[in-house]
A and B are shown apart, each in its own frame.
Chain A
Amino acid sequence: MLNKFPLWKNLLILVALIVGFVYALPNLYPDDYALQITGARSSTQVSESVLDRAVSVLEDKGIEVKQSSLNPPDALIRVNSAEAQLEGRPLLQKTLGERYLVALNMAESTPDWLRSIGAGPMKLGLDLRGGVHFLLEVDMDEAVEKRLSVYASEIKRKLREERIRYRGGDVTDDGDIVMEFRSESARESAADLMQDEYNQFRLRESETDDGAFQMELLLSDVETKKIQDYALEQNLTTIRNRVNELGVAEPLVQRQGQDRIVVELPGVQDTAQAKRVLGATANLEFRLEARQDASSAETQTFPFRDQPNRTARLEREIIVTGENVANAQQAFDQNGQPQVNITMDGPGGDRMLRATRDAVGRSMAVLFIQYDTEEVEKRVDGELKMVEERTVDRSIISLATIQSALGSNFRITGLDSTAEAAELALLLRAGSLAAPMYFVQERTIGPSLGQKNIDAGLMSVTAGFVLVLLYMLAYYRFFGVVANAALALNLMLLVAAMSILSATLTLPGIAGIVLTVGMAVDANVLIFERIKEEIRQGMPPQKAIHAGYSRAFVSIVDANITTLLVAVILFAMGTGPVKGFAVTLCIGILTSMFTALLVSRAIVNLTYGGRNVSKLAIGGKLAHA
């Protein structure tokens, strides 16, 4: 029958709309202002008693607590306003001490039944909620050079061990290693060695003017890429750790392109503090445990990191620092016990070897040094003020017996668990940046500006939406109602899709939605104009509806696919704001095709389908009337 969808099609559309409705729903529940309490270390869990203490402190000061919940390992306290939140944070931090971090957060208030099916609201971009945005660039040349020099000293040592005589062997400015040999056979055996153990290098052999046999070691592109990736990953890890120190809720630390890292800290307004922490260097020191008879002038006592009451006496002399750790990986020894494999760079390896050669049987400690900032109450000009101070915290993370002389590769054993080993490896890596980083971009958006943007954006979307609805209603009468329903459902589906993909809504994103609203109407306009045209040419209404939809189909698909192509290119090439715009445009095109072609057709079919219709309420004077 003409203009009747089969039942399954109607049901399918209905199901899609219901799913869309459910997933768009969380956006109607506004976020609560909240204070989040986390342990300063990953091992610290927030307990019931800590939470109770926090709540009572807040209530004593007259801050109303809306709800408090313990979601191990964190705890969340919801309050009523942004002011209460701002007032509460320093209060809690002071009460709970430095074992816990108190962060400002926005807590979803999505009901449990919605959350249980994975529904949640859209995330708001920084421009809508306020905060800081940094773009950091990793100095890749430096990273490669650092790694190369490690290789160079390793290779030199190998050559010495194999008793192959060479000259040179340093990293040149062009980023390769050049060495000379006296005979061709020496070069041959060196080349064999290289092929066996350092196949990441390409070899180029030549002879110099003074008759020496030269060998050039060029790092392969694959290896260079690997080093760069590693450098970026390591810096990412370091930055992530540091961001956690800042106590920011829902921070974003993300790789961007080949050599950049994006850091977004919602709610942070003080860029100075943020940059100090991000730029800070946590470090490691390797020291020998002091002999029993060592004089106190030569020793220092440090606490253990996980057991503050236990201490150890260490020599004052530092063997190497974390700067010299080139890599650290968690692994297992032959007995299946967790260990951490450490690779030192050239100078570090040499110093380690020299120090440990004569110290077999003694213990070596790994000392973790943390540069931190904390708020301290201080008397300034007779007034009590909160002042930020840099603190240095040194503690031992491992103390183990030296089994044999250590070189550039060694391992730390005697760890309790895999988790501890993994954390140690991470800390060792996090201790130093693989390569220097620079701030190349920075944005601060005040929360008031964020609110202003939301208000203006929402207002313009609403106004534009209402105007379009009126326009369509006036022009197309009943069909205008259909188009409007399709438009509203389109908006709902768009919001649902953004929520499901947990896409971030930014200001250009709102602009993208507005544009989609305007353009989504186009498909319906195309169809309705076509129906009108067919009726003018004398086609009966039922047939005209059918012809209108099916003939406009080709134009709509063509036009939308080309626009979609452009949107996809925008997404692929763009960064930041352009990307936000492209995401909403892409999703908007897809949902608008669904609503314009299927949903609006379903409504028209349900109204007119399968009965005798002599006239359509589509507006305008029609020829056959």
Chain B
Amino acid sequence: MRDSNREPINFMSFRRVASVISILAVVLSIVVLGMRGLNLGLDFTGGTSVEFAYEQAPDLENVRQILEDKGYEDFVVQNFGAETEVLVRLREDLNDDLARELTADLRDAGQQLEMVRAEFVGSQVGDELKEQSGLGMLLALFVVLVYVGMRFQFKFGIASVVPLAHDVIIVLGLFSLFQWNFDLSVLAALLAVIGYSLNDTIVVADRIRENFRKLRTGSTQDVINQSVTETLSRTLNTSGTTLVVLLSLFFLGGEAIHNFSVALIIGVVVGTYSSIYVSANLVVSLGVTREDMLVPAKENAKDQPEEEEKPEWLDRM
């Protein structure tokens, strides 16, 4: 990899295979999403969730039985972080004393526990949140499309937005497939994935643009291979350091940011892949040519390294 600048790796030879994989992954994700939906957290669905700390690890089956006997309906009992911590989620809302009743009921049944945390969200708030976050996501994608279209070229705009959608859909698909809890922090992670994947895509696109201007020969595919190869060690290093941090979040950050780190880890891996095999791939498919990348005549794109290079957008805007 280190001497890669001499021998461009022929990334694009796999582009058809990669296209099939990507399309398949996206379609499958959508199908899974359609069939199973997301295991939406309290923030979105509304309801009550109460977290208990037990003195000794309780038998969850037993807890469920107690709740059933007490006449609760539509609840979920699960461990949260540790064996002695139990999270009870109920669909019921608008009864804000539920948490205390629940604690009392469990104590009545002879369980030794402390209530650690209780949350209650009205269903309307949840619905609004769903709407708002979907809207936020679309707005983010649109702004990226406009910005990149302006900075580079419209085809690049598409080539940078499609991989973002690709990444988001696949992360959502996996969350749906494994029915991981999708809460507000995962939403934040998803938006961070957009930012990250975008970062990656832009760096590669930047190099493609530069090489189009620099290398006067070679097909579009060659230029892209060259560019991806040149940025490869940067891509791997950045993904590496980010993953290192995320893994430490995953293992040490505690239950509260567990799903957050899972979403980001998947997102970073998929995002790195998509910046090459979705974005660069699209650049080839959309038929970006050297002419698309030519700069206005007054700017001599090549030799000007003696002076601090001015960001070109200052000239363009």
Task: Give A residues with C-beta under 8 Å from B.
Answer: 127, 135, 137, 271-272, 275, 438-446, 448-449, 452-453, 455-457, 459-460, 463-465, 467-468, 471-472, 475, 507-508, 510-512, 514-515, 517-519, 521-522, 525-526, 529, 533, 536-537, 543, 546-547, 550-551, 553-555, 557-563, 565-567, 569-570, 573-578, 581-582, 585, 620-621, 623
Q: Please indicate the chain B residues that have their CB under 8 angstroms from the CB of A439 in the complex.
A: 96, 120, 122
Q: Taking beta carbons and an 8 Å cutoff, which residues of B are in contact with A?
A: 2-3, 5, 51, 53, 96-97, 99-100, 114-122, 124-125, 129, 132-133, 135-136, 139-140, 143-144, 147-148, 151, 184-185, 187-189, 191-192, 194-196, 198-199, 202-203, 206-207, 210, 230-231, 233-234, 237-238, 240-246, 248-249, 251-254, 256-257, 260-261, 264, 305, 308-309, 311-313
Q: CB distance B143 to A565 under 8 Å?
A: yes
Q: Is the CB of B203 within 8 A of A443?
A: no
Q: With contacts A441-B121, A514-B253, A581-B185 known, what are 6 further pairs, Cβ within 8 A?
A: A444-B118, A511-B189, A543-B305, A562-B148, A578-B187, A623-B3
Given contacts A456-B256, A515-B192, is CB(A440)–CB(B124) below 8 Å? Answer: yes
Contact A566 B2 (CB under 8 A): no
CB of A522 within 8 A of CB of B199, answer yes
A508 to B261 CA separation, bound complex (whole angstroms): 11
List residues of chain A with CB within 8 A of the CB of B143. Answer: 565-566, 569
Q: Are B124 and A472 in contact (CB-based, < 8 A)? A: no
- In the complex, the answer to whether B140 meets A521 with C-beta atoms within 8 Å is no
| 27 cross-chain CB contacts under 8 A | A137-B122, A442-B118, A443-B118, A456-B252, A456-B257, A460-B254, A464-B245, A511-B257, A522-B241, A529-B237, A546-B305, A550-B308, A555-B203, A557-B311, A557-B313, A558-B151, A561-B147, A562-B148, A562-B198, A563-B198, A563-B199, A565-B140, A570-B188, A573-B133, A573-B136, A576-B184, A578-B191
Minimal Cβ-Cβ distance residue in A for B312: A554
Do A521 and B234 touch across chains, with their CB atoms under 8 A apart?
A: no
Partner of A511, one of B151, B198, B260: B260
Contact of B254 among A272, A275, A457, A519 (CB under 8 A): A457
Q: Nearest chain A CB to B88's CB is how many angstroms away? A: 14
With known contacts A442-B119, A562-B144, A566-B144, A514–B237 Cβ distance under 8 A: no
Task: State the CA gap A543–B125 with chains docked (Å).
Answer: 58
Find the B residue at minimum CB distance from A589.
B195
- A residues less than 8 Å from B241 (CB atoms): 468, 471-472, 518, 521-522, 525
Most chain B Cβ neighbours within 10 Å, of A468, A515, A550, A567:
A515
Q: How far is the CA of A342 from the CA of B168 in the complex (A)?
A: 56
A435 to B116, CA, bound (A): 33
B256 A507 Cβ-Cβ under 8 A: yes
Asked whether, in the complex, the Cβ of B249 is within 8 Å of the Cβ of A554, the reply is no
- Asked if B117 and A449 sit within 8 Å, CB to CB, the answer is yes
* Residue among B254, B309, B313 with most chain A CB within 10 A: B254
Instruction: Give me the 8 closest cross-chain CB pairs, A-B, nearest first.
Output: A456-B254, A573-B136, A440-B122, A464-B245, A518-B242, A518-B245, A464-B248, A460-B253
Contact (Cβ within 8 A) B198 A559: yes
Contacts of B233 in A (CB 8 A): 529
A517 and B241 alpha carbons, distance in the complex (Å): 9
B249 engages A525 (CB within 8 Å): no
Is A519 a contact of B199 with CB atoms below 8 Å? yes
Contact assessment for B245 and A515 in the assembled complex, using a CB-CB cutoff below 8 Å: yes
Residue of B121, B133, B256 contacting most chain A CB atoms (<10 Å): B256
- Expressed in whole angstroms, the minimum distance between the Cβ of B165 and any Cβ of chain A is 14
Determine the residue in chain B with the shortest Cβ distance to A532. B233
Chain B, interface SS category:
helix
Report the minimal beta-carbon distance from B278 to chain A, rounded to whole angstroms: 16
What is the minimal beta-carbon distance from A96 to any residue of chain B, in angstroms?
Answer: 30
User: Which residue of chain A is the closest to B196 with respect to CB atoms?
Assistant: A519
* In contact, B244 and A467 (Cβ under 8 angstroms): yes
Q: How far is the CA of A581 from the CA of B305 in the complex (A)?
A: 38
Instruction: Give min CB distance, A220 to chain B, whole Å.
Output: 27
Q: Give the distance to chain B from A577, nearest Cβ to Cβ, in Å.
A: 5
CA distance A448 to B96 in the complex (A): 22
Q: How long is the Cα–Cα vector from A525 to B242 in the complex, in angstroms? A: 12
Given known A515-B245, A533-B230, contact A445–B240 (CB-CB < 8 A): no
- With a cutoff of 8 Å between Cβ atoms, the chain B residues found around residue A465 in the complex are 245
**Candidates B115, B125, B185; contact of A508 at CB < 8 Å:** B185
- CB-defined contacts of B305 to chain A, threshold 8 Å: 543, 546-547, 550-551
Task: Give the CA-CA distance A272 to B115 in the complex, in Å.
Answer: 14
Interface centre among A456, A569, A574, by most chain B C-beta atoms within 10 angstroms, is A569
**Most chain A C-beta atoms within 10 Å of own C-beta, residue among B2, B238, B249:** B249
A613 to B53, CA, bound (A): 62
Inter-chain contact B253/A559, CB cutoff 8 Å: no
Taking CB atoms, residues of chain A closer than 8 Å to B120 are 439, 441-443
A464 to B242, CA, bound (A): 9
CB distance from A203 to the nearest CB of B (A): 35
Distance, CA A459 to CA B249, complexed state (A): 9
A620 touches B2 (CB 8 A): yes
Complex CA distance for A464 and B271, rounded to whole angstroms: 20
Chain B residues with CB below 8 A from A127, complex form: 256
Chain B proximity of A395: nearest CB distance (Å): 32
Q: Could you say which of A272, A443, A550 contacts B97, with CB atoms under 8 Å apart?
A: A272
Cα distance, A565 to B252, chains bound together (Å): 30
A515 to B238, CA, bound (A): 12
> A443 to B96, alpha carbons, bound, how many Å?
10
Of A137, A507, A566, A573, which is in contact with the most chain B CB atoms at under 10 Å from its CB?
A: A566
Chain B positions within 8 Å of A567 at CB level: 195
Residues from chain A with a CB closer than 8 A to the CB of B261 are: 511
Asked whether B257 lies within 8 Å of A457 as measured between CB atoms, the reply is yes
Q: Is the CB of A444 within 8 A of B125?
A: no
Residues of B near A547 (CB, < 8 A) are: 305
Interface pair B244/A441, CB less than 8 Å apart: no
Partner of A475, one of B119, B195, B237: B237
The distance from the CB of A359 to the nearest CB of chain B, in whole angstroms, is: 45
CA distance A536 to B129 in the complex (A): 52
Identify B238's interface contact among A137, A441, A522, CB under 8 A.
A522
Measured in the bound complex, the distance between the Cα atoms of B184 and A261 in whole Å is: 20
Chain A min CB distance to B160 (Å): 8
Q: Which residues of B contact A581 (CB under 8 A)?
A: 185, 188, 192
Q: Which residue of B lies closest to A454 (CB)?
A: B254
